[in-house]
Amino acid sequence: MKLRKINFLGGILLIVFCFVMSNSVIAEEDAKTPMNISMSSDSPNYSKEFISHLVKCQKYKEESSFDFLGNVITPVVIVEGWKNGKCGYVNYAKEIPESKVSCSFTKAQLNEILAASKKDQNVQETYRNGGMTYTSDPLSVLFTKYMNEGDTCVMQN
């Protein structure tokens, strides 16, 4: 039961995280088939203000909201500034306190984020991690990669 709850929260967290950049559609055909996550190309991305503050690692907070199966979800993204030589970043859904994720970006990773934000966000890129295939705009794919790297982003307990 506890593993199911962790998997459920992890799934909701990924959805919330991805929605910050765009609306998501999740499909899983059966337990033996890898999960494919696709993002619609006309969905909104992070705001220019957020990206600007993040790549400069200047304190900033941004909130949005969306309907998820009849429930309003309010994703929050926060740039906390420099901590121990890395840029602190947090994202969570207000309605799901267990969804809080903290990231510590290096200067090189911030440069990757800046480069990805300058790419055509209508072009789809793909990221594969084990059984998961994720296809979306370059910035969303990069953030998904960081979410899957245990040394960059961690789910807070």
Tell me the pLDDT of the chain averaged across its residues.
Answer: 74
pTM for the model: 0.68
Question: Stretch 103-112: mean pLDDT, rounded?
Answer: 95
Q: Which residue has the higher pLDDT, 143 or 46?
A: 143
In the prediction, which pLDDT does 17 show?
47
Question: Stretch 101-112: mean pLDDT, rounded?
Answer: 94
Q: Which residue has the higher pLDDT, 143 or 42?
A: 143
Q: What whole-number distance in Å separates Cα of residue 146 and Cα of residue 157?
A: 19
In the prediction, which pLDDT does 45 show?
53
List, in sequence order, every beta strand (DSSP E) within 19-148: 24-27, 35-39, 60-63, 66-68, 71-73, 75-83, 86-93, 96-105, 125-129, 132-136
> Taken in order 131, 135, 141, 143, is the CA torsion positive or negative?
negative
Sorted by where each begins, the domain ranges of the chain are 2-155
pLDDT band at 107 (very low <50, low <70, confident <90, very high): very high
pLDDT digits (tens, 9 = 90+) for 24-72: 333 333 333 344 333 333 333 578 899 999 999 999 999 988 888 888 8
In the prediction, which pLDDT does 144 show?
85
pLDDT at position 83 over 90: yes
Q: What whole-number distance in Å separates Cα of residue 43 and Cα of residue 40?
A: 6
In the prediction, which pLDDT does 157 show?
65
In the prediction, which pLDDT does 119 show?
86
